[in-house]
Structure 1
C-alpha cells in the first residue's frame, strides 16, 4: 500500500519547468535522433511501438476485439483486431497508427507544459505495461520490456532534473518523429500500408490519405512544440 501511495504521489505531483536551455537542448537531441540515418533506424522502433499501440487503443475504443500486436526487427509492426471489416471503426483504427505518435506527443506536451513532466513518464509506463499483455512475438516482447525498464529506471531512480529532461526529450521525439514515417511513404508506396487500406475502405486516393496524415503529424509537432517552448521561464 505504501508503494502504491508513493507511486501516486510521484505521478500526480507537479514540478517546475526546466530552463529554456534544457528544453531547447532536448529538442536538438530529439531532432538529431530523427534526422541522422545512423540513429533513426534504432529510434524508429519506439515510433512503431506507439504506432501499433495507437491502432490497438482505437480498435478497443471503437468496439473491436484486440487479437494481438507484433513488433518486428525491421521496424514494421502488425496489430490484429476483430470486428466489422468496414465502417467508421475500421477507418479510425487504420488511421490511428501514423497520427498516434504525434497525438501522444501533443498530450505529453500539454501535460509537461503544466508541470506534470514526471506524470508523463508514469503514463507512458502504464501504456507500455498495457501493451505487454497483447504482444505476440519475441522481438516485440523484448522491445516492450526494454522500453519499460528504461522508463522504470528514470521514474524511480532518476533525479528531478533527469526526469524532467527525459520527459521533454521523449515528448520532442514523439512530436518530431511522427511526420517522418509518413514522409517515408512517399518514396515506397505499398499496397499493405495504412493509407492504402484507408483508400480501399473510403475510396479516397492513397496520396490524399498520405497528405492528410502528414498534415496532422506536422500540426501536432507545431502545436506541441509551441507548448514546450512557451512553458519554461527565461
Structure 2
C-alpha cells in the first residue's frame, strides 16, 4: 500500500546529508515550508546549496538556516530587501556564495529540470554582467543566452492538502515556486496543513501529482 505520510518533520528531513542541493519553496514567507526548515536546522546538515526565490526574511525560516552558517551557496533572484540583513552580513564577510538568476529564468530553469529539457535560450540578462562567459545566439534578429536546468537533491515545499499517495493542492499565492520545485528534485518533501483520505481531493484541483512526491508531513490538522 502506497503511504507517503511521515509521522514527524524530523523523520521527513532525516535523510538530507551535508553538501546537498536543496530547493526551498516560497515567495518570501508566502508558501515557505517553515517547519521543514526548522527541522533541517535541528538536523544539522551543513555545506548546503540552497535554491530559493530570495535569501531570507528577518531571523526566521530560510534566514535562520543562513544564520546558522549551514549554507555554502545560494541560488536566487532577489537576495536583498529591507529585512535580508542575515544574508547581507554573510555576503559582505565572504561567508556565502551567491549565484544571481533573474526571476523568470530561475522559474523556467527549475521547470526545465522537471520537464527533462536539456537547455533553452532566454533574452533576459543579455548585455549585462550576467552574460559574461555565457553562450549567446541570435535568433530571429534577437540575442539570447543559453540557460541550463537547475536540479536539486531535495525539494522542501509547502502545500495545503495531501492524500497518502502524495497528491497535492495549494492555497492561493502560496502555490508560487512550490509546484515546479516538486518536479525538479530527486526527493520532494512536503509539509501540508491537512491530510485527507484517497478520493477526497477533487482531481481537477490537484496541482502536483503524487508521482513527484516522496514524503508528506502534516503540520496542521490531522488526517480525517
TM-score in terms of structure 1 length? 0.26
Greater helix proportion = 1
The structure whose residues are more often strand, as a share, is 2
Q: Relative contact order, CA 8 A, sep 6+: which one is greater?
A: 1
